[in-house]
Structure formats: C-alpha cells, structure tokens
Amino acid sequence: MAVLIDVILPLAISATYTYRVPDNMPCPQIGTRVLVPLAKKEVVGIVSNLHTSPVEDSIRLRDVLEIMDPYTILSDEQLTLWRWIADYYMCPLGDVMAAALPAKAMDRQYTMAENKRRRVKLDTFSDELEEKKPLTPAQTAAYESINNQFKSKDIVLLQGVTSSGKTEVYIHLIADQLAQGHQVLYLVPEIALTTQLTDRLQRVFGNQLRVYHSRVSDAQRVEIYRQQRLDESPRLIVGARSAVFLPFSHLGLVIMDEEHELSYKQQEPAPRYHARSVAIMLAHNVRAKVLLGTATPSVESRYNAEQGKYGYVCLSERYQGLQLPKITLIDLQRQYKRKEMYDHFSDPLVARMREELDKHKQIILFQNRRGYAPFMQCTRCGAIPKCTDCDVSLTFHMASRQLVCHYCGATTPVPAVCPHCGGEMKIHGFGTEKLEDEVHNLFPDARVARMDLDTTRKKNDYEDIINAFSRHEVDILIGTQMVTKGLHFDDVSLVAVLSADHLLSQPDFRSAERAYQMLEQVSGRAGRKGSAGEVIIQTFDPTNPIFDYLRNHATEQMYMNQIAERETFRFPPFHRQISLILRHSDEQRLWAAASLLHTRLQQVFGARVTDVVTPSVAKVQKMFIRQINIRIEAKANIAKAKQMISEQIAYVLALPACKGVVVLPDVDPV
C-alpha cells in the first residue's frame, strides 16, 4: 500500500491536493507543513488528511518533497475550526489558511523549530506589576453575575454603558483565568489597540501579555504563533480579529470587546468571516467561555440574550456616578434659513465651543468623511468628475491638490475648469480636511489635530495623535469614526457631530442600528471625569426617531424598535442572509450570469431570492458588480441550503457564456 496525504494549499480551490509519501520518508502527521510540487513550482502546504491506496492506483500522484517541521503547526482543534469556517462561509480551505496564518508561516525559510540565531524579539514589559483596581459595587455585581451565568451558559453578553468600567471587569475575569492556568483571548477592534489599552493590561499582567494585530511585524506574528503552538508563551493574547486563528492549548475565556463593531467582519478577501462567530466556535470546541461586551449591542447578540441563548448582564452606571452626556440637536435647515451658520458650524455650536475652550476643556468634532470635499461639480453643465475604474465620484483633497478615488486610491490632478464645457468647478459637501480649515478660521488660537485615514498612514501616527490629545497638547480633535472607538480622555467636555444625515440615509436595513451605535459611541467620549459632557448633533432631519432614543440613551428601546422591523421585513436574526456577489469586467456577461443564476436559484428557493441588485457602487477597479441576496428562515437547514446554492453557482460558472465571472458568497453580510 502507498501512503497518501491531502494537502491544503494557499490557492482558492475547494479541493485539497493529494500526494504520495515516498517510502524513505516518515509519514507526516495531520497539521504538519510539507513542501510539495505544484505544476512547475514547489509550494508549502499543510497536511489535512492521511489515507492509503494500492500502489498501482497511486502511480500518477506526485511525491511529497519534504516535511518542513519537527512539530505540527496546526492542532486538531484548529483544523476543525478551519473546516467549519470553510463550510460556514462557503470558501475553500486554502482561503482560510491564508487568513489564518501569518504570511511568513507559509515561507519555505520559516521553521517551527526554535532557531536561536534568527529568534525574533518580542516586546517585553516591566515586571513591576500593579494590583488590579478594586471593583465598585456595581462592577462587582456584574462580575459575579457573569460568573454565575457562565455556570449555565457558554456565552454572556455584558451590556455596559460607555465608561462603566467594562475593562476593569474584564481585568478581574482575566486574572481569575490566569490563576487557574488558563489562557485568555481578548479581542478588540483593530483601531482600539492602542497603548491606552495595552498599557493598562501590561501594568497588571506584565509579560503574561502578548499583542497580536496587523501593526505587529509579520516576523513577530510568526514568533507569537510558534510560541503559542509550542505553549511556551504568555497566557493573555490581546488581538484584533485575526487572533482567533492562533493556537490555544488551555483556552478558558474569550472576551470580545465592542462586539457590535463592523470591523470584526472581514470583507476582502475571502473568507468573509465574522470574528464573533469564529470566536464562539473556537470556544465551543474547547469548552471555553465567551464574554461579549459593548455599550451598544448588535441586534443579533441582544436578540440571542433575549432568547436565553446567551446570558445577559447589565452595567448601567458610569464609573464614579458620572452622568451620561446631554444631547442637543441643532436643526440645520432652520440655521441656514436664518443665516446663522459659519461654514458648516451653526452659531450655537460655535458659541458652545468657545465657552469650553475658554474653560480649557477639550472638544471632539466628528465627521465621517475624510478629504476636503466628497465631490466637485461644474456650475455650468453639472458634470461631476468620477473615477475611470470605479462607479464613484472623486473626493477633493486639498493638501495633495488631488482628486482621489476612495475605492481604488486612483488620483488625478484637480481640474482648473470643467473638462467637458470649460465651466467653473465648485466643491460640494465637506470632509475632515475642510473641517480643519474651518476650525482654524474660527478659532485661530486653538491647537487642532485631525485623525483620519490620511493622517494615520505611518506606523505611529495614530498613537501619536491620541497621546498628544491625552496630554492635552491639542484642544480640538477632528476625526472620522476613528475617534469613536473606546478611547478615554479626561478633559473632553463637548463632542459635536457636524452632520448626522449621511449616517441616517444609508440604504441598508442596518443603517439605523449603525447610526445609533456610532452616535452613542462618539457621545461616550464626552464628560469622562468631573462633569457631565454635552453632545451637539447637527442635522437636517431633527425629527428622526433615532434622536429620541439617543437623547435618552435608550439603547433598549432602540433595540425593540429594530427587532420588530427585522421581524416584519424578514431580516436577520429571523432570516439568515447569504449574499452572492458577482463580478466581471464585461457588464453584459455579468448580467447574463447574474440573471441565469437568479433564475436557477429562484427555482430552488422561490421568493427567498431577491432580484438581482445593482449595488450603489456598481463598479470597482474596472470590475462590474451585481448582487443576489437569499434570505432563509432561521430554522431551516442552512447547511443544506448552502450546498444547494453552491451547486447552482458551480452549474452556472461552468457555462461558456459565464466564463470568468467570479461569484463570492457572503454569509451573514454586515
């Protein structure tokens, strides 16, 4: 008999490849890296299966070239998790591997065996540890309730208002786990991984802490991975979404902070996984517990708690009895009519800013658009410069004097006159860059910083801005949603949302939920220490019901309203959604494929399939995009439904008329 192995290769193919183990080679274990030939190349893959076959049947198979490590790089539990992800998110195992391992781990040069010469240095922390802070009575109650509920539930949702001290509660739970010799995985949105958080954890846990995210170098990530796999490593991992792929041998608890955050969902490339679902599976497989924490739970998680699937703990008091901020709305229509505006600032906002600056307080201004102006338009013929490769208008950037596509990054110089008719070009709308200009004009003496994608491109930029603001070297911080994420500044007394309307007008069933979360989170930055803060929201739509919820911080009522809507319109969590995203550079061909697939899906799923949708951005990087949404009853057999969908996709893609069309399933899109 010949020994055969199946190998996962870093390719977007659904099947694994099979190779023969030559007679003079020991049989590699499942989870070992091997070097195998692929066409004319040699590639690294991971053994996913072992079997045997009669020698004569294995003649056409190629031989494994090399076993690369003395250890398996992947545990059985990890492989189980990978398989679950591939099934659940309808993607090849090769894609899961690419997402799960640091790039270098697939390098031929890399070895799991410790190599003293090449050993990578990881950050080490001071050994002088601090005691954890004693919990307040409210925090103690939450802590005890979490522990009690973990006796009967695997997952608990902790809904704690901003600044209630969720992090302190986590620290106590982590300490308990470490004392029992367990590991803890602490997940946070990428952007929240600042020294603000890691300093706090490191002071208590010292070198038991490791930080794992995209700004850690690949070499360091590989070293952390190796240590975790060989279990030589510290016990508390703080990381962004991809940390769910690290090996754990004694995992006791997963904490997912800001569980509602969209950045937990990977969008590109596949697998389009949600770190919350993966973390829950990861914990489930090894009988660890999961704590989801947030001030503004996702509708899905809150629903699971309501249904008793998750435990539920509330922490409704801010630390030191701090008041939640007062929310003031400003009706922009009225302000413009009365000409009580200075650029994009209403007179009352300017007055309040001036008062706070006089009191040496700090201010955060939130506008969820970067650049100077979202588009330019010809005043004569109405033409709007668009990206040649994407179906979007170009954003005007003042600093670089360029028009920039925010989808593909393409840039062109700003046209002096309209390229079509020679008319005069005017900018419309405003982004953070313009806001900065306006603030300088209004408050020439104030120290201003801006935090958005454009000002945080270099490694330490983000950190530097946060630190400067923390040290009160900056009076006014202007930013996009980056400023809404779990940061603590003691002197911020006023937060202003320059225009809430863009947030409210998204054509999506989650738009109200998201707008609420974003606005509630950004207002959580106001009034941290000492006095209650204020949040001023400028809007053309002051009667929108969302503002009533916000004004009262009525997160629960907001949820009730949303869940009722979701049920009426058959949205998640009552129905599960699977979106199929179709792409091709030829719009005609794409249409043909989309209609065909749509027809066939309808034959199987009937009214559960929507029409072919043209997304609001229907072309990106020369590729046209169409979408088909399928919504399946939550109680239905979802695995079977996915299989039927995959069969239809495979059928359609095999047709000559659909050649080259890409179909990307997006399971539970957000």
387 is in the binding site of which of Zn ion, ligand ADP, none (Cβ under 5 to 8 A by kind)? Zn ion
| Exposure string over 86-102, b if 16+ CB within 10 A, otherwise e | bebbbbbbbbbbbbbbb
350 is in the binding site of which of ligand ADP, Zn ion, none (Cβ under 5 to 8 A by kind)? none
Q: What is the closest distance, in whole angstroms, from the C-beta atom of residue 394 to Zn ion in the complex? A: 8
Q: What is the closest distance, in whole angstroms, from the C-beta atom of residue 196 to ligand ADP in the complex? A: 9
Q: What is the closest distance, in whole angstroms, from the C-beta atom of residue 183 to ligand ADP in the complex? A: 22
627 is in the binding site of which of ligand ADP, Zn ion, none (Cβ under 5 to 8 A by kind)? none
d(CA 256, CA 241): 9
For the chain, the maximum distance between any two Cα atoms, rounded to a whole number of angstroms, is: 89
d(CA 386, CA 405): 8
Residue indicated by tokens 């070239």: 65
Question: ω into residue 385 within 30 of 0, thus cis?
Answer: no
Q: What is the closest distance, in whole angstroms, from the C-beta atom of residue 430 to Zn ion in the complex? A: 21
Token couple for 360 = 């040496």
- CA quadruple 176, 180, 181, 185: dihedral positive or negative? negative
Q: What is the closest distance, in whole angstroms, from the C-beta atom of residue 201 to ligand ADP in the complex? A: 11
168 is in the binding site of which of Zn ion, ligand ADP, none (Cβ under 5 to 8 A by kind)? ligand ADP
Size of the site for ligand ADP (CB under 6 A): 14
CB nearer to ligand ADP: pick between 166 and 566: 166
d(CA 229, CA 293): 28
Q: Residue 421 is which amino acid?
A: C
**3-state per-residue secondary structure call for 610-625:** CCCECCCCCEECCEEE
Interacting residues with Zn ion (CB under 5 A)? 387, 389-390, 405, 407-408, 410
β partners of residue 180: none
385 is in the binding site of which of Zn ion, ligand ADP, none (Cβ under 5 to 8 A by kind)? none
Q: Is 207 helix (H, G, I), strand (E, B) or coil?
A: helix
Q: What is the closest distance, in whole angstroms, from the C-beta atom of residue 160 to ligand ADP in the complex? A: 5
Query: Are 563 and 294 a contacting pair, CB within 8 Å?
Result: no
CB nearer to Zn ion: pick between 4 and 387: 387
β partners of residue 479: 366, 451
The candidate with the shortest Cα–Cα distance to 584, out of 597, 569, 566, 575, is 597
294 is in the binding site of which of ligand ADP, Zn ion, none (Cβ under 5 to 8 A by kind)? none
Burial class (CB in 10 A: 0-12, 13-18, 19+), 458: exposed
389 is in the binding site of which of Zn ion, ligand ADP, none (Cβ under 5 to 8 A by kind)? Zn ion
The candidate with the shortest Cα–Cα distance to 234, out of 195, 272, 201, 267, is 201
CB nearer to Zn ion: pick between 405 and 414: 405
CB nearer to ligand ADP: pick between 35 and 135: 135
d(CA 149, CA 152): 6
CB nearer to ligand ADP: pick between 147 and 400: 147
410 is in the binding site of which of ligand ADP, Zn ion, none (Cβ under 5 to 8 A by kind)? Zn ion
Query: Are 549 and 512 a contacting pair, CB within 8 Å?
Result: no
d(CA 228, CA 250): 10
284 is in the binding site of which of ligand ADP, Zn ion, none (Cβ under 5 to 8 A by kind)? none
Q: How many residues does the chain have?
A: 670
CB nearer to ligand ADP: pick between 88 and 319: 319
Q: Is 297 helix (H, G, I), strand (E, B) or coil?
A: coil
Q: What is the closest distance, in whole angstroms, from the C-beta atom of residue 294 to ligand ADP in the complex? A: 9
CB nearer to ligand ADP: pick between 528 and 631: 528
Footprint of ligand ADP on 110-169 (CB under 6 A): 133, 135-136, 139, 160, 162-168
408 is in the binding site of which of ligand ADP, Zn ion, none (Cβ under 5 to 8 A by kind)? Zn ion
CB nearer to Zn ion: pick between 10 and 374: 374
Alpha carbon 120 to chain centroid, angstroms: 28
CB nearer to ligand ADP: pick between 163 and 202: 163
Q: What is the closest distance, in whole angstroms, from the C-beta atom of residue 321 to ligand ADP in the complex? A: 11
Query: Are 251 and 185 a contacting pair, CB within 8 Å?
Result: yes
Footprint of ligand ADP on 485-504 (CB under 6 A): 488
Q: Is 65 helix (H, G, I), strand (E, B) or coil?
A: coil
407 is in the binding site of which of ligand ADP, Zn ion, none (Cβ under 5 to 8 A by kind)? Zn ion
390 is in the binding site of which of Zn ion, ligand ADP, none (Cβ under 5 to 8 A by kind)? Zn ion
Q: Residue 624 is which amino acid?
A: F
Q: What is the closest distance, in whole angstroms, from the C-beta atom of residue 144 to ligand ADP in the complex? A: 14
CB nearer to ligand ADP: pick between 130 and 355: 130
Q: What is the closest distance, in whole angstroms, from the C-beta atom of residue 165 to ligand ADP in the complex? A: 3
Footprint of ligand ADP on 578-597 (CB under 6 A): none
Q: What is the closest distance, in whole angstroms, from the C-beta atom of residue 524 to ligand ADP in the complex? A: 7
Q: What is the closest distance, in whole angstroms, from the C-beta atom of residue 195 to ligand ADP in the complex? A: 14
Return the residue of 89, 212, 319, 571 that touches ligand ADP, per CB under 6 A. Answer: 319
335-339, Cβ contacts within 8 angstroms, sequence gap of 24 or more: 335/538
* Closest CB to ligand ADP: residue number: 165
CB nearer to Zn ion: pick between 266 and 412: 412
CB nearer to ligand ADP: pick between 265 and 488: 488
Query: Are 285 and 80 a contacting pair, CB within 8 Å?
Result: yes
- CA quadruple 46, 272, 629, 577: dihedral positive or negative? positive
CB nearer to ligand ADP: pick between 164 and 562: 164
Q: What is the closest distance, in whole angstroms, from the C-beta atom of residue 453 to ligand ADP in the complex? A: 24
Burial class (CB in 10 A: 0-12, 13-18, 19+), 104: middle
The binding site for ligand ADP (CB under 6 A) comprises 133, 135-136, 139, 160, 162-168, 319, 488
